[in-house]
Chains A and B, each alone.
Chain A
Amino acid sequence: MKRQAGDPGRRSGTDMTEGKTMTHSPPPDDKAKYQRVAYYPGCALEGTAHAYDASTRAVGKALGLELDEVPDWNCCGAMEVKNIDPKVQTYLSSRVLSIAANEMHAPVVMAPCNGCYHNLKKAEYDLGHDDASRETVGKISQQAGHAAYQAGQVETIHALDWLKHGVGEAELRTRVSKSLNGLKVANYYGCMYTRPRHIFPEKDCGPGSDSLYQPHFMDDLLAAAGAENVDFPLKTACCGGAHTLSDSDTSTKLVLNILRAAEAAGADVIATECPTCHAGLEMHQVRAEKVFGEKTTVKMLYFTQLLGVALGLSPRSVGVHENVSDGRAALAEKGIA
């Protein structure tokens, strides 16, 4: 069926069958495919989320996985460029995918940032379903002097998929030298990891796949590292990251909901898997205190920082001291670091 760009098609409500039968290959069991992947860090990991980049690389190295950074990558456009022109946003992702496919000949590209991951997935969907997107991307690619990306050339995964499929809980358990035992964790996935669902055909496809409504890959990995995951209802709530500075009051309210819910669930830390979510929670925790006069004490840590510490890496080497919300005491209290 031909669709326009951005048309979610008919994979709706509880009827997931179309997505399953048409676009999905069964959950991966070939670990080898994920041992060495093309790595797309994105702008945030080169800047304020340096600690996420450092901890992702360190955890990969400790587990014997290899990352080849995509050469000369560009920004994916985050949540902003699409509002200027959605097809330019599609092109931005397609250029990265094209380098991974045509220059690196990589079967898999991994992005730790929800925004990057989401945009690569969205480009994959639009280029696979919409002639106008293919045409625009083809034209800009040609003028820019590189091969246009064709849907299906590369598989895009998140850092969570990389560790879950490339290592898995069983092996991770044997590699843990400093169990996160006693640490109560609320796992926060944000919005872009699961929404909109039509761009994630591999999710909700039975055992081995992550869930759109109750994602659990981060829970699984951290549980394998010994953490106690609390029952956290706001896993995929939105932090208002799109307007973190342009509509700060709304963002602060949304973040406060998340922080309060995590504390009510008894969490010592919130594990994050997105630099924008992480920065949003940290910034608006401070803003809630300064502007709304409401103080919360839960700490934010990237899930890769928690895994790194569990693997015996020093908190410093995974950048725990770089976070705005200082999680060192929370870890020390449990005798973890």
Chain B
Amino acid sequence: MPIHEKALIRPENLLTHDKLVVDGVDVSGHWSTFIAPRVVTDYNERLQDEIAALPGGEFVHRCWQCGSCTNVCTVNAVNPDFNPRFWIYLIRMGMESELLRDKDIIWQCVSCNKCTDACPRQVVPEGVMKATARWLELKGHTPKSSSTHFDEEFSEQVIATGKIEEGRIIRNFFARTGQPLRQEWLVEMAKRIARRLPVKLGMVMGFAALVRPRTRGWAKARRAIEGHVAREETRRRAALGLASAAAAAPPSNDSARTG
């Protein structure tokens, strides 16, 4: 089994000298490479607790750093910088600034749960990845990832009607993330079906969705779920020391959405 290690020595801190004199002694040729000293002072002592307060992060404290999660990780195989074991280490050590160096890729976990099965300590690293991505957004370290936009669009539809409509999700997701819907490959895909099935073109691209699917008798469930979500959101923000969503939220991006 390969071991995927992550060095704590940063490449930019490796100092190489052609000519070096230390305390009057010329050590050129014997010693030429040094590691610039680095002292971490900005520990966030609460980091592990904050992650544990978010869904999925509950068991982060169990990790004993075996590295199995990174070893089996689907995303690590395509991007070696994606390293769940390392991030869990940083979270447990409270090394927030170190964690922030990878802030833009943590959301890329694809929830394949290979790590969940491989972990000998039932940490559920998949959940920790989700909790960490959420923590980064709640704390304002990253903007909402495209994945969060997708989750929100999807969840809003489910909560509103009990069902989703795929075309509508694709359409609104592209609008939320400011991407053109007419991506060359999407158009090509639609064309391939359209050759045999004209109706499906509209269905996939979501242009022909005249009837929005909904679950009969959903209204009460909707209210109950909305109440629960609002309470949980307030609880989570409090655990992170943030003001309640209503007070702190930036203007919603509703206007950017098509219906």
Contacts and interface: CB of A to CB of B under 8 A. Distances in A.
Interface in A47-72: 47-48, 72
Chain B residues touching A, range: 35 or more
Interface stretch (A27-35, A75-83, A153-161): A75-83
Given A12-B120, A74-B162, A290 B113 contact: no
B65 interface: no
A145 interface: yes
B116 interface: yes
Interface string A77-121: 111111111111001100100000000000000000000000000
Contact of A196 (B113, B146, B173): B113
Contacts of B59: 4, 7
B213 interface: yes
B237 interface: no
B19 to A, nearest CB: 45
Interface stretch (B4-12, B38-46, B190-198): B190-198
Contacts, number: 193
Given A7-B59, A326-B192, A75 B158 contact: yes
A86 B155 CA distance: 11
Interface stretch (B25-33, B95-103, B104-112, B240-248): B104-112
Given A12-B120, A43-B166, A80 B151 contact: yes
Contacts of A250: 75, 78-79, 108, 110
A112 to B, nearest CB: 16
Nearest to A47: B166
B74 A254 contact: yes
B58 interface: yes
A226 B69 CA distance: 39
Contacts of B122: 7-10, 12
A297 B174 CA distance: 29
Interface in A6-29: 6-10, 12-13
A17 to B, nearest CB: 16
Contacts of A243: 108, 110, 147, 150
A140 B221 contact: yes
B111 A79 contact: yes
A229 to B, nearest CB: 23
Contacts of A78: 154, 164
A287 interface: yes
A9 B155 CA distance: 28
Interface string B42-59: 000000000000011011
A283 B196 CA distance: 17
B246 to A, nearest CB: 17
12 contacts: A6-B127, A47-B165, A75-B162, A81-B158, A84-B155, A84-B229, A140-B221, A144-B224, A238-B114, A246-B149, A282-B189, A290-B188
Given A48-B203, A191-B112, A237-B74, 20 more contacts: A8-B122, A12-B122, A46-B163, A47-B203, A72-B215, A75-B162, A80-B154, A83-B147, A86-B55, A140-B224, A143-B224, A191-B114, A195-B113, A195-B116, A196-B124, A197-B117, A238-B114, A246-B149, A286-B188, A323-B193
